[in-house]
Structures are given as C-alpha cells and as structure tokens.
C-alpha cells in the first residue's frame, strides 16, 4: 500500500503541477493578448488619423523652429558667438525626432509585449501536452531506487503556511488584488501610449533649437511605459509560479508587480502623463511667445 500511495501521489502531484502551470500560463498569455490589443489600437483608422494629425503638427512646429533657430543663429553670429555646427546638429536631431516619434514608441511597445508573452510561456511551460507530464512522471519514478528514497520524497504543494481558512482567504484576496491591479494597468496602457505620442509632437519646436530636456523626459516616459508592460506581467506570473511551493514568497512577488511603475518613476522613468503634459504645454506656450516676439521684431523693419 505504501508503494501504491507513493506512485499515486507522484502521478497526482505531476498532474496538479501541470494543470496549475497551464492556468498560470493562460493568465500570462491573456496579459500578452491584452498588450497586443494595445498594439492593434494603432492599426485602427481613426487612431491613424489622430497620429497623422499630430505628425503634421510636429512637422509644422519643426519648420517654425528651424526659422526661429536661423534667427537666433544670426543674432548670435553677429555678436561673434554663433556656432553653425551645433545649430546644424540640433536641426538634424529635430528632423530625426519629428520623423520617428510616432513609430518608435509603438514598435518598442510591441517588442516589450512580445517578450512578456515569450517569458510567460517559458516560465509556466504553457502549451505542454499531457505526454510531457507522462514523461516527467516516469522520470520521477525511475529516480527512486529504494524505500528510503520514497520516504524522503516531498510531494504536494508547499502550502504548509496556510494553517487556517482565514490564512487561505487572506492569500486569495491578495492574489486577486495583484492580478486585478495588473489587469487594469494593461488595459489602459495602449491609450496612455497614444496620449504620449500626441504630447510628444509639442516638443518638436524646442528640439531643433537645442532645448532637449523636455523631449528626453518624454523618451524616458515611453521607455518606462514599455518596461512596465514587460516587468509587471512577468513578475506577476513568476509570483504565481512560486506561490505553489512558497506561498508567502509568491505573494510578495505578486504584490511587488504593482510597484514597478513607482520604482521606475524613482529612477526617472515615470509612466504617468501629468508631468509630461504640463511640460509640453509650457513648451507650446514658449513657441507661441517666441513666434510673437520675432513677428513683432520683424514687422517694424518691414
């Protein structure tokens, strides 16, 4: 009976492991599909029309900025402080920024979502057939040479810390909280990227003139968004996989997934749009005031 109990426990343990891995793998794949929905958002005609509008706005601001930059260079050159090389480099930076700010963020976001899906599949073994489970069961049974080996085997989930129904309920609530938080974060990420692309067009007035601090911050926000899209779901899936063997450690990993945006913001990769929008509005106001000043300066001479 002892041998039969050991064999039955080994079979059931491997089957439960496989089933749990498939469930967690499905969740990771579901988050990857949600990310792909954010990528597919940019294939819609009305979204492409919005991006085209802001792209044309960016090129218009770039053209105005070139004129303003030429006036500024002429003023500095007349006082002996003009630098033609730096002015040309700034113009080249503005040209590249205006041409790439609508495409590179989408490609980077698609890459992060694809990597997240690949990592989730690798962590969970999602898609493995029942034949793989059978091979694992045979390998476990072949690795036992004596009754002493059977007695030393540790079977089942490592949930010994769940000593009461209240502890189990507490863990379930925390798991649901972590999953729901990541779910809503993934749900809104495509729209946030669209807002960031729209706001990025307003920086095209300052980049050709050499003022790139605001645009660099915008780049950090785009990178932070893509990094969060990859790390949040990956850490959540890793926490779910660890939970079955080390419940509290797995809960800690799952809850830490919700802290990824805050930690990224601490290192300058802020994923929110509030600061970015305020900076862009200030840049747009500067563009308007500068254009008025130049027009006012040129009008009396004409």
The domain ranges of the chain are 2-301
Which residue carries 């989730």 as its tokens?
120
Kindly report the pTM of this predicted structure: 0.74
CA distance 140 to 192: 48
User: Could you list the pLDDT tens digit for every one of the 302 residues in the chain?
Assistant: 444 444 444 555 556 666 777 777 777 777 788 788 888 888 889 999 999 999 999 999 999 888 888 888 887 777 777 778 888 898 898 899 999 999 999 999 999 888 888 888 777 766 555 555 444 444 544 444 444 444 444 444 445 555 667 777 877 888 888 888 888 888 888 888 999 999 888 888 888 888 888 888 888 889 888 888 888 888 888 888 888 777 778 888 888 888 887 887 777 676 665 545 555 555 555 555 555 655 555 555 44
Helix (H, G, I), strand (E, B) or coil at 81: coil
Which residue carries 């045979």 as its tokens?
138
The neighbour count for residue 84, using CB atoms within 10 Å, is 9
Ramachandran assignment for 14, one of left (phi > 0), alpha (psi -120 to 50 degrees), beta (any other): alpha
Own/partner long-range contacts of 244-250 (Cβ < 8 Å, ≥24 apart): 244/17, 244/20, 244/157, 244/158, 244/159, 245/157, 245/158, 246/158, 247/158, 247/159, 247/161, 247/162, 247/171, 248/161
């Amino acid at each position: 009976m002892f041998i039969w109990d050991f064999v039955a426990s080994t079979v059931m343990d491997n089957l439960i492991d496989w089933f749990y891995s498939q469930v967690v793998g499905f969740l990771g794949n579901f988050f990857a599909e949600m990310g792909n929905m954010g990528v597919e958002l940019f294939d819609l005609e009305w979204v492409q029309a919005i991006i085209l509008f802001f792209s044309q706005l960016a090129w218009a601001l770039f053209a105005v900025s070139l004129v303003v930059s030429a006036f500024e260079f002429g003023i500095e050159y007349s006082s002996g402080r003009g630098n033609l090389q730096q002015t040309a480099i700034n113009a080249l930076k503005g040209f590249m920024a205006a041409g790439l700010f609508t495409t590179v963020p989408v490609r980077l976001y698609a890459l992060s979502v694809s990597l997240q899906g690949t990592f989730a599949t690798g962590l969970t073994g999602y898609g493995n057939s029942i034949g793989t489970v059978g091979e694992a069961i045979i390998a476990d049974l072949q690795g036992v040479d004596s009754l002493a080996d059977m007695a030393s085997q540790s079977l089942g989930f490592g949930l010994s810390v769940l000593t009461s129904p209240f502890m189990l309920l507490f863990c379930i609530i925390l798991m649901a909280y972590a999953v729901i938080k990541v779910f809503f974060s993934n749900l809104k990420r495509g729209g946030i990227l669209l807002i960031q692309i729209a706001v990025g067009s307003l920086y095209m007035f300052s980049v050709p003139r050499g003022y790139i601090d605001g645009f660099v911050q915008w780049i950090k926000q785009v990178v932070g968004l893509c990094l969060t899209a990859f790390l949040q779901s990956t850490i959540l899936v890793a926490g779910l996989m660890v939970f079955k063997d080390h419940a509290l450690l797995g809960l800690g990993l799952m809850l830490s997934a919700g802290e990824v945006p805050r930690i990224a913001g601490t290192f300058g990769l802020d994923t929110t749009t509030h600061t970015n929008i305020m900076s862009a509005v200030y840049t747009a106001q500067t563009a308007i005031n500068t254009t008025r000043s130049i027009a006012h300066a040129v009008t009396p001479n004409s």
